[in-house]
Amino acid sequence: MKKLLAVVCLLSCLASVGLARGSQESADEPMYGIGTNTQTGMNALSLRYWQNKDWGVEGNLGYYTYSNSTNGSLIGGKYLRSLKQEKCLTIYGFAALAAINCQNAGVSASGTYIAAGLGVEFFFEELPNLRIYAEAGAANEGGDYYATTKGTQLFAPTVNNIGLHYYIK
């Protein structure tokens, strides 16, 4: 399913190259992005909205299955604040919050994920609407899920997220 979503997204992006508008000329216009990422190490559908070149928000909805007996889901969001803009690159700060639910061998557990850090969003001039990004920062993962599977973690350096979005302006 994840591979199918990635292929459909990539083909849609390549088919619409002719429809893509200029990269940063209209940076003050709102931009709506749909894509995928690895929020908390779990693949998630991601909707990102940049109100203007300075700030935006993101929502995530994820699901994973590690084996026949282990699965989980998450719902979360982020606040994004642009720190520096280059021709094909945006550096931003973020604050994230997610609720996670997991079921392992019939035992259900839940947890939270709180993170803050920096992100870099990159795009090619030929494909200005397709953007790749990575985020790193500090995260606190707690609750029943993390206490039973990983142990509660204090804020610790971690790579939080890698993903891509296709933007519609």
Q: What is the CATH number of domain 2-168?
A: 2.40.160.20
Query: Helices in the chain by DSSP H: which ranges?
Result: 2-15, 144-149
Could you report the per-residue pLDDT of 143-161, keeping only the tens digit for each? 665 545 554 455 556 666 8
C-alpha 89: how far from its chain's center? 17
Q: Which amino acid is at 48?
A: R
Separation of alpha carbons 118 and 94, rounded Å: 6
pTM of the model: 0.74
Instruction: Give the mean model confidence (pLDDT) for residues 81-100.
Output: 93
Could you report the per-residue pLDDT of 96-149, keeping only the tens digit for each? 998 888 877 777 778 888 889 999 999 999 999 999 999 988 877 776 655 455
Strand (E) or helix (H) holding 139? strand 127-143
